[in-house]
Amino acid sequence: MLGSRDSELSTIRGNMKGTRRNPDRKDRGKKISSLPAGFKLLPVEPEKFMLAFQVACAAYSYKMPMESPSSQKVAVDFGKGEVVQYKFTDTPWNRAMMAVRDHVASDFHELSSIVFRMTALQTLKDDPRMQKWEQRSDDGESLAIHEAVFYTAATLRTNAGGEFDADEFFQAVEASATDEEDTL
C-alpha cells in the first residue's frame, strides 16, 4: 500500500473517470489540488484511524472480500448544482479507499480526513526517520508500525496541501511515544 507520493497521486488520478453533469464548467481538465480551498482536515480518533489503516491494508492486499471498485460509482456533490460522478478501476489503492469508506467512515468529512491523512502518511514512508518506528518480520512479509505513528497521523494538523510537515511529524511521534512509555 505504501508507494511514492508521485506514483500514488498519478495512480489515483489515472484510475478515476469523472463525468461532470455541468459541462460548462470553466476549470474542466485542470489539475485538482490536494485539498479544496478552505477545506480543513479534521483530527480523527486514533483508534478509528488505526482500524481504517488495517481495513485499507486488507483490501489493498486482496485479503478481504469486497465488491470490485469498477462495479461501483461514487457521486460527489460540489454544491451549486454540480455533481461529479466517478467510476474507479479495480486497483489496490482504490480497493483500499473504498473499503475504508464502506467499513469505517460514517460521513464525507470523516472519510476525507482519513483518506488524506493516510496519503500524507505515505509521503513519509521513505523518510529515514520512519525506520525507527518500523519493524519488519523475519520473513519480510509484514511490517509493524509503532502506534505513536498512527496517533500522530490521526491528530497532527496538516498544511494547506493536506500533508504533514516531516520535522513536526517526527517530533510529535517521538513525544507521543515518550508519553506512552510514561503511562505504561
- Please state the rounded mean pLDDT for residues 88-103: 92
Q: Which domain holds residue 155?
A: 5-19+39-183
pLDDT digits (tens, 9 = 90+) for 96-121: 999 999 998 778 888 889 999 999 99
Number of domains composing the chain: 1
Q: Which residue has the higher pLDDT, 140 or 15?
A: 140
pLDDT digits (tens, 9 = 90+) for 22-73: 334 444 443 344 566 666 788 999 999 999 999 999 999 999 999 998 998 8
| Residue 71 included in any domain | yes
| Residue 27 included in any domain | no
| Residue 84 included in any domain | yes
Q: Is the pLDDT of residue 94 over 60?
A: yes
Q: Which residue has the higher pLDDT, 37 or 91?
A: 91
| Residue 32 included in any domain | no
For residues 133 and 148, the answer to whether their CB atoms sit within 8 Å is yes
For residues 144 and 131, the answer to whether their CB atoms sit within 8 Å is no
Name the β-bridge partners of 49: none
Q: What is the DSSP letter of 31?
A: P
| Prediction pTM value | 0.72
Category of 80 on φ-ψ map: left (φ > 0), alpha (ψ -120 to 50) or beta? left
> pLDDT value at position 80?
83
